[in-house]
Copies of this chain bind each other. A is one copy, B any other.
Amino acid sequence: MISRRMQKMVAGNSVIRAMFEEGLKMARQYGPENVFDFSLGNPNVPAPEEFKNAIIKILQDVPPVKVHGYMPNGGFPSVREKIAASLNKRFGTNFNSENIIMTVGAAGGLNIILKTLLNPGDEVITFAPFFGEYRNYVANFEGELVVVPPNTINFQPDLVAFEKLIRPQTKAVIINSPNNPTGVVYSEETVKRLSSILEEKQREFSSSIYLISDEPYRELVYGGTEVPYLTKYYRNTLVGYSYSKSLSIPGERLGYVAVPSEIDDYEQVWSALAVANRILGFVNAPSLVQLAVAECLDAKTDIAYYGRNRDTLYEGLTKLKFQCVKPEGAFYLFMKTPMEDDNAFAQAAKKFNILVVPGSAFGCPGYVRIAYCVSYETVVNSLPKFAELAASCGL
């Protein structure tokens, strides 16, 4: 009796979420120390102390009707102003409060962008491997997700294939760098070529093609890797950001969309985003957390912790002859499966109490995603289990 669309959705419920709930069950069954749950991007590094202090100070200093009340659907203007100033300082942009709209995480941000842009049948291009939810977000508004096949050499996007897939009905392109699930950062060269292809296609089709930069992992990079700021390379860029990973607060649902004044139809897009925030049922991003985050824009989670996990895991796995590209950002490692069927491999791993997500969930079979936003002990103690798994696969 539920809708036909939701019947399909329920049947094919998120592999990642199903694993998360299975991981909780296994932890109860075997004890959490004996389960190596690499399934979900749920940060294990605590939120910085500044965030807690900011909340307490706000509760003590600001009247509750202001802290917990409605504000404009786009968020507190004062908060948006501070975020704009912080971006300007870091990236040389020229934003003010009218370029930032506060959202319920990046997921909320992507949904209001797609609600704003898509007519039924419009196409949105993304690059495999990609965060599987893009398919659902695009389907929410009757768009079609067009997937550029993966470049498994180094997981930079395949721009030759990309160029051929752009058509008059291409309304947007979603990129995600640092990338979930590969941990790869798209290079400046990639960004420049991608931008010039888009410029050319806009001219060819006399259309506006919006580049949606989904960047919840922007702050999570290792060894000084630079993540180009997209609005500086391509005019029609919308940025979807989230504080989930940079401040370790994914449950709080806070992010923003940056809407540069230079984009085509800025005023319409801006108004539509605020309206979409309202009518999709978000209404506004959570108020107390908006105010608190604005007080700790320079705070960051402990990236060195993830860096140690990355190094230990990468070295451990490659020593066992598993193959993977060394991640430069995010907290994911994308590993080639020694057997062709990544689902079968994930099942095999489960026998050793290792939970990983099949690459098929990201449009890239033959790989698994290992989310290393876990305790260092989990990484270290998983390695003997990975060794048993490798042996069982004949490595």
Query: A residues within 8 Å of B by Cβ?
Result: 1-7, 9-10, 13-14, 17, 20-21, 24, 40, 42-47, 51-52, 55-56, 59, 63-65, 67-73, 104-105, 107-112, 115-119, 122, 133, 136-137, 140-141, 208, 248-253, 264-265, 268-269, 271-272, 275-276, 278-289
Contact = CB atoms under 8 A, between A and B. Distances in A.
A387 B240 CA distance: 50
A73 to B, nearest CB: 7
7 contacts: A2-B117, A9-B272, A43-B65, A45-B65, A69-B251, A105-B281, A108-B281
Nearest to A288: B252
A281 B104 contact: yes
Nearest to A141: B3
A253 B115 CA distance: 20
Contacts of A111: 280-281
A109 B282 CA distance: 10
A252 to B, nearest CB: 5
Contacts of A59: 52, 55-56
Given A1-B265, A9-B275, 17 more contacts: A1-B117, A2-B265, A6-B116, A7-B268, A9-B272, A13-B271, A42-B70, A51-B64, A55-B59, A56-B59, A68-B251, A69-B248, A71-B251, A137-B279, A251-B286, A251-B288, A286-B289
Contacts of A250: 68-70, 283
A169 to B, nearest CB: 13
B42 A64 contact: no
B110 A281 contact: yes
Main secondary structure of the interface of A (DSSP, over half): helix
A181 B4 CA distance: 34
A71 B9 CA distance: 20
Given A286-B286, A289-B286, A279 B9 contact: yes
A268 B2 contact: yes
A250 B281 CA distance: 13
Contact of A40 (B70, B269, B284): B70
Given A3-B117, A13-B275, A289-B286, A68 B252 contact: yes
Nearest to A267: B10
A22 to B, nearest CB: 12
Contact of A64 (B3, B118, B248): B248
B1 A272 contact: no
A13 B278 CA distance: 10
B14 A278 contact: yes
Nearest to A287: B251
Nearest to A112: B281
Contacts of A63: 46
A59 B50 CA distance: 12
B69 A52 contact: no
Contacts of A56: 56, 59
B104 A253 contact: yes
A394 to B, nearest CB: 36
Nearest to A49: B64
